[in-house]
Every structure is written in structure tokens, then in C-alpha cells.
Structure 1
């Protein structure tokens, strides 16, 4: 099977401009802070993926089915309902870290947080760093 044509692709939109366009004051402030946190932890430049995901780095995946493609290594999306944090080693047991994180919900490869004040920023940094290190060890990655 050939490389997949993902719906969510890296764009040229500015992450800062996207964040500035967020109407909800708290969500915008949380997104600004997340941009700082992810930039500091990953030491990577933010890039928009699709219209609403801010990603850091890129990795190449290939499934047993033969489907393959590229996607962001880590990132976040300030959605209307909550903040979505993409930690792509989602199938690993991160319960030791997540027990210390604070109020959140867990998806397959992401965390859902109502507001940044609900979680421990230090633990969030640990989770992001763990995810990036895991992705770099398991996949071919790029810093763009």
C-alpha cells in the first residue's frame, strides 16, 4: 500500500495568529502558555497541522497493513470544549505520571484538559518530554 493521504497535514498558517484568533479568553491564554511549554520542552518550532492543531516535530509511521504517512510528534489543539494534548505513545502505560497530573480525561493518544489550571504544569512537561523521547526512539522523526 502506498503512502496515505492524511486529512490532517502541515500548513503554512502561523500558530501565533491562530491562537490570537481564539475568542474565548481563558482558552486563548491557555493556548499561549501551552505554546511556551511545548516550545521549551521540545526545543522545536511550532507548526500548524490542519486548521486547529499546533504540532511540534514530525514522524513517519508504517502500519502492518502497509499504510504509512507522516504526522506530528506531539502537540495540542485548543478546542471549544477542552484542550487536547497529543501524546502519541498513547498505548503505553503512563499511569504513574497521569496520577500526578491533575484533572484530565484520557483518549487513545491524547489528554483532554478543561483548563490548564486543572493540571500540574511540571507533570505535563514530563509527559510531553516522555512522549517526544519515545517517538524519537521508535520512529524516524524530523524537527520540522
Structure 2
């Protein structure tokens, strides 16, 4: 049986951010922490060793694979900052068009720094992602 590596844990979010080597990236991590906390109303929790997540949902795929994941989150990685929003939401692309300088992966949006993006659009992406996931995976 596949064991999900990215699980919520009791590691300190502040300690994790304090250990980010690049001072600018550390500063951006604190800005994102504020934006995500303020927008979601959820307490920040560590998911795995390097993802700061907000809220959670339980998913179950048709394949039978299931697990828990944060509704939204971010990770100040060495190369870029990864932002985690709901994949599969058609409204996401529309918002990303107004977001600012970024690249995208399957589920991640990558930015170099907070100054490159529109913070109001970030907050819309957070709200939209939380709403989409809560609608798609309602709590039982």
C-alpha cells in the first residue's frame, strides 16, 4: 500500500521559516504566511518537511487511492517559491492570467518573489482554491 509522505505534523512553522537560508526568501515566506493565514482563517501547519499548509481535506480517487492534503499552502524552496492551489479548477487559469510573473506545474504555481505578483490576485486564488476543494471534497 502506498504511504503518503506529505502528512501534517507538529513541526514549528516559524522554526522552518527561520531556517530558510536566503534572507529575501525568508522575508517573503513571512509575507505569504500572513496572506494565507489572513485569507483562509486557518492556522498554518507543517505538511511533511517543507510545505506550510492551511486547512485540510480528505480526497478519494476512483482508483481507491485516498489521503489528506492541505487546502492551500506554500514552500519557500531554494530555486523558487512553490504555491499550492487546487488543481483542476477552471477558474484558476483565469486568475493566473492576472497574477504576475510565475510558472506552473501540475499542481504548483512557482514564483521568484512576492514582489513579482499581485497580492490581491493571490488572495483570490487562495479563496477560490479553498472553496473549490471544499465543494469537491465535502466533509462527511
| TM-score (normalised: structure 2) | 0.94
Residue pair 2:89, 2:132 contacting (<8 A) in 1 also: no
Deviation at 1:98, TM superposition (A): 0.9
Residue pair 1:91, 1:108 contacting (<8 A) in 2 also: no
Residue pair 2:73, 2:83 contacting (<8 A) in 1 also: yes
Moved >3 Å (runs of 4+): none
Cα 1:123–1:48 shift into 2, 3 Å: same
Greater mean deviation of Cα atoms: 94-103 or 35-44? 94-103
Alignment match, 2:79: 81
Aligned partner (choices 117, 123, 129) of residue 119 of structure 1: 117
Aligned partner (choices 59, 64, 67) of residue 66 of structure 1: 64
Alignment match, 2:12: 14
Residue pair 1:57, 1:141 contacting (<8 A) in 2 also: no
Alignment match, 2:88: 91
Say which SS state the counterpart of residue 98 (structure 2) adopts: helix
Whole-Å Cα distance in 1 between the matches of residues 71 and 55 of structure 2?
A: 5
Whole-Å Cα distance in 2 between the matches of residues 60 and 98 of structure 1?
A: 25
Q: Which structure has more RCO (C-alpha within 8 Å, separation ≥ 6)?
A: 1
1:134 aligns with 2:132: yes
Q: Structure 2 stretches of 5 or more lacking a match? A: none
Deviation at 1:5, TM superposition (A): 2.4
Alignment match, 1:28: 26
Whole-Å Cα distance in 2 between the matches of residues 96 and 65 of structure 1?
A: 30
Pairing 1:31-70 to 2, within 5 Å after superposition: 31-70=29-68
